[in-house]
Chains A and B, each alone.
Chain A
Amino acid sequence: MPNLCIYFQAHQPNRLKPYSFFDIGRDPFYEADDLNRDILNKVSDKCYVPATKLMLELVKRHPEFHIAFSLSGVFIEQAEHHRPDVVELFQELVATGNVELISETYYHSLCYRHSGKEFARQVQLHADKLKSVFGIERPRVFRHTELIYFNELAHFVEGLGFEGMLAEGVPAMLDGRTANGVYQAPNVQSLKTLTRNCILSDDIAFRFADPNWPEHPLSAKKYAEWIAREPGDVVNVFIDYETIGEHKWEDTGIFDFWYHLPEAMADEGVRFITPSEVVDTCSVLGTYDVHAPTSWADTAKDLSAWKGNTMQTEATKKILTLEAKVKAIDCPDLLHQWSKMQTSDHFYYMCTKGDADGDVHSYFNPYPSPYEGYMYFMNALSDLQIRVDRLSEAGS
C-alpha cells in the first residue's frame, strides 16, 4: 500500500503590456498592471480563496491530511500587493503544520543553463521570502520551474543544500519502472528525486472534467481505490493549484472531489505524506539518469514549451545575457525588473506549437498570438538594454 504525496504549484507571472516600438526609450514600465491584477483577482476568487479555505477545513477535520505547496516569489509578491487576504489564508494554512512549503526560483525562471550564480540567487531570494512571509526555515526539498529536471541540475541543487528534488516521472527515463517512489541521479551524493506519477496527476489536472473520458466523472472514492492499488512506496501527485476552481471550474465537481478525498483515502488506508517525509522514509529505488532536461510541460515533456522556436531561444538568450551588466549596476529595482522578465511564462506565450499542446498554450496566452508575445517582449527588452547601458555609462 503506497502513501500519497500531494504537491500544489501556485504561480502568477507579471504579464507584459502591449509594449510597442514607440515606447522604447520612453516607458520604463513593461507590465500590464491592470491585466495582472484582474487575473489575480479572478483566480483568487475562483481558486486561491475557496480552495485554501477548503484545505484549511480539511486539515481541521482530518489531522492526517498533509500537503505541500510551492508558491512562486512573483505570485506571493502579486498577492501581497493586490490580495492580502490570499496571503493570510496561506499563512493560516502553513501555520497548521500540515503543510510543507518547498523551494523554487523566486522568478519561476529558466536561468540555470545560463548562470548557476543567478539561479542560486533566485533560490535564496525565494527562501528569504518564505521566511519573511511564513516564518519558515529554508525548505529541504526543491522543485524547478514546471518540474524541469536533469542530472546536472540535480547535482547543483544538492550543492545548494537540498535533500530532495521533484521531477516529472518521464516514462522513457523510468524505462518500465514505477514512478511511485524515490530515485537518485547518478551524479549526486544523497539527493533524492521524487518522480511525479503523470497518469494519476493528469487524471485530476487534465482529464477530470472531460466527459469523453471513460472514467468521467471521477469520484474521490474511485481515485482512492486506484491509489491503493498502485505499486511502490509513494504515489507522487503533483499538480497546479489553479486546477481547483480555475482550470477546472467549480461546476465540474472539483471542490467536492477534494472535500471527500481525505476520507476516501482513510477508508482505503492510504496515508498522506509530504515531500520531506518521503525523503526521510523512502529508500532509493534505483538510478534516474536524465541527461537532457525534462519537464512536465506539453506532450514532449522537455524544454520545447519555452525553447522550441527561434523567437523563444532568442528572447531567453538575450534577457539572460544582460546579467553581468545589470548586476554591475547597484539598482535593486532594475535587478528586480530584469529578473521578472526571466519568468518562464513570457517564453511559454511565444510557443507556436499546434494540436493539444497549442490549445494549452493559447489557454494561458494573454496576447492574440505568440508573435505579439515576442514583439512586446523584445521591445521591452530593447528598452531595458538602453536603460542598462545608460546607467552603466552614468556609473562609470
Chain B
Amino acid sequence: MLGWEFPPIINGGLGIACLGMGKALSKHVDLSFILPKVDPSFVVDRVQLTGLDHLPLEQVRQITQELAAPSETLYETFAEVDRIEADLLPYGAIEETKGRREIARTETATKTLPPSRAAAAQIRYATESLPAFAAGELYGDDVHEKVTAFRKASAILADSRDFDLIHVHDWMTFPAGVAIKQHTGKPLVVHVHSLSYDRAGPDSRGWIFDVEKSGMEAADLVIPVSEYTGTIVTGHYGIDPAKVVPIHNGAEPVETYRTEKAFPEKLVLFLGRLTAQKGPEFFLEIAAKVLKENRNVRFVMAGTGEKLKPLIEYGAYHDVGDRFHFTGFLNKQKVNELLSMTDVYCMPSVSEPFGLSALEAAQYGIPAVISKQSGVAEVLTRALQADYWDVDLMAHHIATLLNDDKEYQHAVNASLEDQKNCTWEAAAERIVEAYESHLELSVID
C-alpha cells in the first residue's frame, strides 16, 4: 500500500482510515505500507511501515542519485504541460495541521512502544531521511514536489520488493501507484477517500483533478468509500463503472460515556473543518430557523477553518450568539467530552465521501441529521436526511428530534444499530473479495 498520512502523523481522516483498514486487512494479506513520513515509535502488528524520512543510508543515496538524473516531472508522465505558478492546498485548511497532529499523538500514546523498543525500532528502520521529506508539512506549498519525489522513490523501493498488487490511497499516491504498475506490471487498486470534486466543487479542474482522473483510469480497481463517491467517480470523472467497487469505511469502536450538561438546553453539534465542503453556513441557517421556534436549544460549531470569522459575524447577524457557540479547534478529549453531552449531531456537508464523524457520534448514541450528499447516509440509513441546501427540512428534522421524545428514542436506537455493522473487519473482507473478483488474485486467509 502507498499512503500519505498515517498515525500519528495525520491531517484529517485519511490517516485514520489507512490505519483501520491496514490493521483489518493484515489478517488477510501480507501488508507493507510506503509513506512519506512515519513515526518509528508507532508500530502496527503485521503491517510493515516504510517512511521516506526513515530509510537505510544506502537506499537514500541510491534514490537521491536516481532522482538527480534528469527525467520528466509528475505531470509530464501523462499530459502535455504548460506551467503556471499556483499555490494549492490539497485539503484546505493547513492551519490545523499542527493541532490535528497533536490529537493524533495523544490518541495513539497508548499504542506506542516503550522507549527501549522504540530505540531499537529506530535503529532498525531509521537512519536517514529522503531530502524531500526531511522537513515541512505533508500538505505544504511544495506538495507538488513531494508528490513527485514520492512517486520516484516509491517506484525505486518497489523494485526491490516482492508483492502481488499495489493499493494506493488518494491522489497524492496515485502517480506513484501508476509508476509502479508501469515498472512491474502488477495490478493497481486506487482507493478514493476524497476527491477534488468534494473539496472544491464540481467546477474544479486543475492538476489535482487530472492526477485523480489519470490515476483512476490507469487503475484495475477503483474503491470509493461510498456509493455516493462512486457516482462521482463514474459520472464526474468518467471512470468505467465495471472496475468501480464502493466499499464503506469502518469505524474503530470507541469507549463512550455520557456527561450531564451544565445548562438546561438541548445541544446540537456540528463537528468539522469550517470550509465550504462541510456546509457550516447551512448549519448556521438551520440553527437560526430552529431557534426561531425553540429557544431551549444550543448549537455548537466545533472546529476551525478559513470560514470561522465570517461565520461568527454571520451568527451575530442572525442574532443567535447566545445560543450558537464556536469552540475553535478541539483536541480529541474535548471532542469526546462534547459528544458525551450532545443530543443531536448535524452534518450538512455539501459533498462528503464518507463522514466518519457521524458514525462516531452514532457510537455515542447520538442521532444524526445528515446531508444526502454524504457516504455515511448509506450506512446510517435510518438517520434523518435532507439535501445539504434544504435548511428548512434539516431544521424540521432537528426540531422533530428535539421535541418528540418517542421519535428521539427511536432515532437513538436506530443509529446505535446502524453503526454496529460498520467495522473495518467487514470492510477488509469486502476489499479482499474485490481483489479476487476484479484482479483475478486468490487471497489465502
Contacts and interface: CB of A to CB of B under 8 A. Distances in A.
A382 interface: yes
A375 B322 contact: no
Contacts of B261: 25
Interface stretch (B111-119, B286-294, B311-319, B408-416): B311-319
A391 to B, nearest CB: 13
Given A25-B261, A371-B308, A315 B327 contact: no
Given A318-B322, A378-B322, A21 B264 contact: no
Given A310-B313, A378-B322, A386 B308 contact: no
Nearest to A23: B262
B263 A25 contact: yes
Contacts of A318: 321-322
Interface in B319-373: 319, 321-323, 325-328, 334, 337
A311 B264 contact: no
B321 A374 contact: yes
B316 A385 contact: no
A378 B263 contact: no
A98 interface: no
Given A311-B321, A315-B321, A374 B263 contact: no
A281 interface: no
B300 A24 contact: no
Contact of B312 (A313, A375, A385): A375
A311 B262 contact: no
B309 interface: yes
A375 B317 contact: no
A280 interface: no
B321 A378 contact: yes
A381 B322 contact: yes
Interface in A348-396: 352, 369, 371, 374-375, 378-379, 381-382, 385-386, 389
Nearest to B321: A378
B312 A26 contact: no
A260 B62 CA distance: 78
B319 A22 contact: no
Contacts of B263: 24-25, 382, 386
B309 A371 contact: yes
A21 B312 contact: no
B325 A21 contact: yes
A309 B325 contact: no
Contact of A25 (B262, B316, B321, B326): B262
Interface in A62-104: none
A21 B303 CA distance: 13
Given A310-B316, A375-B326, A22 B321 contact: no
Interface in B188-209: none
A187 interface: no
Interface in A122-172: none
Contacts, number: 59
Contacts of B323: 382
A22 B322 contact: no
Contacts of A369: 309
Interface in A305-320: 309-311, 313-315, 318
Contacts of B316: 309-311, 313-315, 374
A115 interface: no
B354 to A, nearest CB: 27
Q: Place the interface of chain B in its size category.
A: 20 to 34
A20 B323 CA distance: 13
Interface residues of A, number: 25
Contacts of A382: 263, 298, 322-323, 325
Nearest to B300: A21
A63 B139 CA distance: 71
Contacts of A375: 312, 325-326, 328
Contacts of B300: 21
A371 B304 CA distance: 13
A375 B327 CA distance: 9
A24 B321 contact: no
B312 A371 contact: yes
A26 B262 contact: yes
A327 to B, nearest CB: 19
A286 B117 CA distance: 88
A309 B310 CA distance: 12
B322 to A, nearest CB: 5
B312 A311 contact: yes
A315 B309 CA distance: 16
Contact of B325 (A314, A315, A378, A385): A378
A310 B313 CA distance: 6
Contacts of B337: 22
A298 B334 CA distance: 40
A22 to B, nearest CB: 7
Interface in A27-58: none
A24 B262 contact: yes
A24 B322 CA distance: 11
B69 to A, nearest CB: 48
A382 B300 CA distance: 13
B308 A314 contact: no
Contacts of B312: 311, 371, 374-375
Interface string A180-212: 000000000000000000000000000000000
- Give the interface centre of B316, B323, B326 by most chain A CB atoms within 10 Å: B316
Given A314-B319, A374-B321, A20 B327 contact: yes
Contacts of A20: 327
B313 A311 contact: yes
B142 to A, nearest CB: 28
Interface string A291-326: 000000000000000000111011100100000000
Interface string B267-291: 0000000000000000000000000
A311 B311 CA distance: 11
Interface of A: 20-22, 24-26, 309-311, 313-315, 318, 352, 369, 371, 374-375, 378-379, 381-382, 385-386, 389
Interface of B: 261-264, 298, 300, 308-309, 312-313, 316-317, 319, 321-323, 325-328, 334, 337
16 contacts: A21-B326, A22-B334, A25-B261, A309-B316, A310-B316, A311-B316, A314-B321, A315-B321, A352-B313, A369-B309, A371-B312, A375-B328, A381-B321, A381-B322, A382-B298, A386-B263
Given A385-B322, A386-B263, 11 more contacts: A21-B325, A24-B262, A26-B262, A314-B316, A315-B316, A375-B325, A382-B263, A382-B298, A382-B325, A386-B264, A389-B264
